[in-house]
Copies of this chain bind each other. A is one copy, B any other.
């Protein structure tokens, strides 16, 4: 047991901070969020070519970097700080899914594509309020040529630009935990229609993805078709933990920029930072940021344990729900306080704190908010599962 970073990790994070400072300054984020892609493809290319971050979780055997979830989460935290808007988190989630459940062939095929700079994402639900197997409505119908998937997916991160989409679909007539499969779809396959949808948080592009009888071959099935509800739950948990890392970074940045502003801004002949009520609010913000940090890095460690089969799905679920519940609320609280402490300028388009606030709102709802995840923890707690 060890709860501090290795020197290597610290070095990776310093590098990340420097690189993101170059390619993801707020001005360029603001510019790219108004483009069709919703992010800057050239920054993404540099990320893949110069940093090779897309290979962090890919084993060395597959020519990846063979690093772990702690490194991944540390980088995501720094992306969150910058509101980085490229398809990194969603690609990483797909990478983790492949690492856990991919066949040898799938790993070599898809890892190669990802390492070459292709991006990936996950598409699960259309109408449901909750992200879960129950919410899967797309259907995978067996035909002579193979399975054909039809259905609509919403809330798909970077779904309009991703090269690879990991989708959930169910056997006709099935419901609940039954009949669910996970499939790796090429975005340019026939029958894939997707469009970006306008979102309140402009830094987090979402898309609608429509599959119209898209053909999939057996080698595109991840794990066992029809039996993948547990895997889907774990996949969503993984994805949630990655979101919490970005939330942590966003919360930290919100706190930092707020304190900086308060130290400068003078009212009543004093810096605002000198008002005790303001100081105490900032102390509460910091408490939440640090507590969020503790649970997010714990969850990162759990991913590592889970990847090597030392922790089970329950432990992953508990970690994910704890981290998502706490970090969602913490980020929203911190960014909300940030706007308040900025005062009038906080609600102007010109200042950045409102972008963090919207990010907090968007990531809170995505994959379930605090109340939903606390209820899930309560169920485990009362069942003696945690």
Stretch of A23-31, A275-283, A291-299 that contacts chain B: A275-283
Interface of A is mostly: helix
Contacts of A280 in B (CB 8 A): 277
Nearest B residue to A275 via CB reads B276
- Cα separation A72 to B314 with both chains bound (whole Å): 57
Contacts of A277 in B (CB 8 A): 276-277, 279-280
Nearest B residue to A274 via CB reads B276
- Contact residues of A between 253 and 278, Cβ < 8 Å to B: 275-277
- Cα separation A276 to B275 with both chains bound (whole Å): 7
- Cα separation A280 to B279 with both chains bound (whole Å): 12
- Contact residues of A between 271 and 317, Cβ < 8 Å to B: 275-277, 279-280
Measured between C-beta atoms, what is the minimum distance from A315 to chain B in Å? 31
- Cα separation A176 to B275 with both chains bound (whole Å): 56
- Cα separation A261 to B37 with both chains bound (whole Å): 61
Nearest B residue to A280 via CB reads B277
- Cα separation A277 to B283 with both chains bound (whole Å): 12
Contacts of A276 in B (CB 8 A): 275-277
- Cα separation A279 to B279 with both chains bound (whole Å): 14
- Cα separation A276 to B280 with both chains bound (whole Å): 10
Contacts of A275 in B (CB 8 A): 276
- Cα separation A107 to B187 with both chains bound (whole Å): 82
- Cα separation A89 to B187 with both chains bound (whole Å): 72
- Cα separation A131 to B277 with both chains bound (whole Å): 41
Measured between C-beta atoms, what is the minimum distance from A333 to chain B in Å? 17
Contacts of A279 in B (CB 8 A): 277
- Cα separation A279 to B275 with both chains bound (whole Å): 11
Nearest B residue to A283 via CB reads B277
- Cα separation A279 to B277 with both chains bound (whole Å): 9
- Cα separation A119 to B114 with both chains bound (whole Å): 82
Measured between C-beta atoms, what is the minimum distance from A287 to chain B in Å? 14
- Cα separation A371 to B279 with both chains bound (whole Å): 32
- Cα separation A276 to B277 with both chains bound (whole Å): 5
- Contact residues of A between 137 and 154, Cβ < 8 Å to B: none
Nearest B residue to A278 via CB reads B276
- Cα separation A277 to B280 with both chains bound (whole Å): 7
- Cα separation A221 to B279 with both chains bound (whole Å): 62
- Cα separation A128 to B276 with both chains bound (whole Å): 46
Measured between C-beta atoms, what is the minimum distance from A213 to chain B in Å? 42
Nearest B residue to A276 via CB reads B276
6 contacts between A and B (CB under 8 A): A275-B276, A276-B276, A276-B277, A277-B277, A277-B279, A277-B280
